[in-house]
Chain A
Amino acid sequence: MSNTKFSNFKSEDGSTGPDLVGITTFTSPYYFVPPSGTTAQRPSGEGLTPGMLRFNTDIGRLEVWRGDHWATILGESPNLDGGARGVFGGGGPAPSTTTVDYITISTLGNAVAWGAAITQSRTTLGGFASRTRGCWACGSIGVGPYYNNTIDYVTISSTGSVTDFGDDVARTLGDSAVSTETRGVIGGGGFPSGKTNTITYVTIASTGNSVTFGNLSEARDDPGGAFSSSTRGVFCAGYASPAYINTVDYVTISTTGNAVDFGDLLDTISRSAGLSNSTRGVIAGGRNATTESINTINFVTIATTGNAQDFGDLITSQSFVCGASSSTRGVFGGGYAPAGSNVIQYITISTTGNAIDFGDLTVGRGALGCFSNGHGGL
């Protein structure tokens, strides 16, 4: 009996449902509805078994019996104003700006001004975020002493004040960053005196200075994009003076240690944007050894290793563009084309194809730092 059709299943006496024995699979892209009822309708007595699952209609939450109590399964949504929020901060060209603006990634339209400015105007700053807190790390001030190792943070739902988080201990500008819900990891970048391969990290929910994590395979700045799943952080390409590189490195974010080879991008580039959902990382724009700004988009599958593949093209060629994402959509904001651009464009991460116009930043700029509360590392 390999294919049986039923509209309703019950036990022999109709008093309960059946016992489904063995590994059970629901083959559907849609949903599974567990038992639901009020708190008063919870089962009780000797029949309680750890792992029992039900939806409690009184509290609007799934709950599971843990052996001694019903534990509420918390749900979390990145949605603010109907979708995940992308936040763009700082940027240039000189004089650099403290501007912060934001978008709702699931919609289309122009960015809205944030209610506060970053603590120091600067360019080439790295952005990373948990679901609740977004951070910008380091950057070039544009005037003496030129460099800044400050890490700023905001509460993403607030559109309010930007606060000092601490200092990065390994670099002052030109970094890229990845994160999970717990940890922000910053890689590459440089000092006035040179480039670094150092990786550092912070615990996003706390504040304080960064701590050493390990090393990238090569020192580089003007990174070629970085992104993460909930397990891996991936750092792509960059300028490893005197050469542009196409190296893709990855780290396991929950550990510390040196980066491991992932594969190669299709071109040797820097100044690109990186973003991801939980499975696919996308790298867009930037420059290579011969062209000041390019429009190519590459992608990789984060859980595997291997070389990047062609995804499509940006609307225009832009370097120092910045990427933020939800689980479905990747958004690229600003960039130098060659003047500071206000263009926001988007892709659907799970497909391939060219970017489409999304709207405009409040201020045209490049070399900005951005993050979202719905990216692939969360």
Chain B
Amino acid sequence: MSRINVSKLTNENEEGGPSISGISTFSTTAFLEVPKGTTAQRPEFVQPGMIRFNTDSGHLEYYDGVEWTDVVVTNNTLDGGARGLFMGGNDETTPGAFNTIDYITISSLGNAINFGDLQAGTLGGSSCASSVRGIFAGGQKTPLVTAVISFVTFSSTGNASTFGNLTSATEWPSAMSNSTRGLIAGGRVSSSGVNTIEYITIASTGNAQDFGDLRSVRSFYSMSFASSTRGINGGESPGFTNLIDFVTISTTGNASAFGDLTDNKGGAGCSNSTRGLFGGGYNPGLSNSITFITIASTGNSQDFGDLTQARRALGACSSSIRGVWGGGMNPSPAATDFNILDYVTIASTGNAVDFGDLVTGNSGRQRNKTACSNGHGGL
């Protein structure tokens, strides 16, 4: 009897359901509906692992051997979806750098909205995030390079606050994170490219500490993203390295080889928990390419599609569904800054589609912005 069709199963005495022995699979893309009832209807005799939905508390709960505990869920929904931040930047005509922070609701479309200000006008910084905090680290407070790390709280809007310092003043680093730890990798210290990786604990404040080294120097525009376990960093300019490295975020240590970039280098990266995207940058000319990798594996990146505009010095953020790139520039023949926001559906492949516009500082037309979200693949 390899297949039977049944609409209802009980045990022989009709006093409960049957016991299903061995490895069991529920083959559906829809859902599994677990038992549900009030707190008063909790079973009298309990064993560790029992699962039910408590209709009084509105929580899935399980018996952990001592008591019924609510399953903790992460809710990164603000204004109906994950929130993406685009921070700092500069443009062709305005002296110095902008301190502005724009935000978007990634699940919607539309123009960005003013979130607040960084502590100082800064370009070429890096950003990463937990579901609560967005981090901005390093960059160039023209003409000085800064080691300052600052943070904002996603659920509010407002200005950034002091977090701590990188070990050195670093411009154009790249950052990635899971829900606990943020990693800041590469960039330039004293005008020289570095391969260092530092880390911070996002929920606290304090200075960054040494994590390990990338396999090579990454001076400008290396691209980073993460799953909850792995941090990925690939590419850079001006050396146009095609190396993709990975680290295990919860440990410390040097990066290992993941594979090679097959197209663009030196753009901006974003991901959900399984797939990471590299968008824009150079190859070696200005590129609109998007390539992707499967984060849990290793291997070379593959073609995904194209951005709506070839550009470099752009920022990228993501939800579990969408990747969004914002800002950037085309250096020739006359330098042009873009306020473009374009997006892709991460699980598919295809070309990016217009999302809306950045708005603050030169009507959002900026380069060297960095982006993060409270719904990225590391969370």
30 contacts between A and B (CB under 8 A): A3-B7, A3-B10, A6-B12, A7-B12, A7-B18, A9-B18, A15-B22, A19-B24, A19-B25, A20-B24, A23-B32, A29-B36, A30-B37, A30-B43, A31-B35, A31-B42, A31-B46, A36-B49, A60-B65, A67-B273, A68-B228, A68-B296, A77-B68, A182-B155, A202-B156, A203-B153, A208-B156, A254-B79, A278-B58, A327-B58
Task: List residues of chain A with CB under 8 Å of any chain B CB.
Answer: 1-12, 14-36, 43, 50, 55, 57, 60-62, 66-69, 71, 73-79, 181-183, 201-203, 205-206, 208, 211, 229-230, 254-256, 277-279, 327-328, 349-350, 374, 376, 378
Shortest CB-to-CB span from A38 to chain B, Å, is 12
Contact A16 B54 (CB under 8 A): no
Extra A-B contacts (16), CB below 8 Å, given A9-B21, A36-B49, A256-B79: A2-B6, A3-B7, A4-B9, A7-B18, A10-B21, A14-B22, A17-B23, A18-B24, A19-B26, A24-B26, A31-B51, A67-B296, A73-B71, A182-B75, A206-B156, A277-B57
Main secondary structure of the interface of A (DSSP, over half): loop
Pick from B22, B31, B75, B273: contact of A17, CB under 8 Å: B22
For B50, the chain A residues whose CB sits under 8 A away are 31-33
Contact A20 B26 (CB under 8 A): yes
Q: 8 shortest A-B CB distances, which residue pairs?
A: A29-B37, A75-B69, A278-B58, A55-B49, A17-B24, A68-B296, A327-B57, A31-B50
Given contacts A17-B22, A55-B48, A328-B39, contact A211 B33 (CB under 8 A): no
Contact A230 B58 (CB under 8 A): yes
Contact B228 A328 (CB under 8 A): no
Pick from A23, A75, A205: contact of B132, CB under 8 Å: A205
For B67, the chain A residues whose CB sits under 8 A away are 77, 79
Contact B6 A1 (CB under 8 A): yes
For A74, the chain B residues whose CB sits under 8 A away are 71-72
Q: Does B41 touch A at the CB level, under 8 Å?
A: yes
Contact A21 B22 (CB under 8 A): no
For B2, the chain A residues whose CB sits under 8 A away are 12
For B332, the chain A residues whose CB sits under 8 A away are none
How many angstroms from the CA of A205 to the CA of B156 in the assembled complex? 12
> Total A-B pairs in contact (CB under 8 Å)?
238
For A30, the chain B residues whose CB sits under 8 A away are 35, 37, 41-43, 52
| A69 and chain B: residue at smallest CB distance | B229
What interface size band does chain B fall in? 35 or more
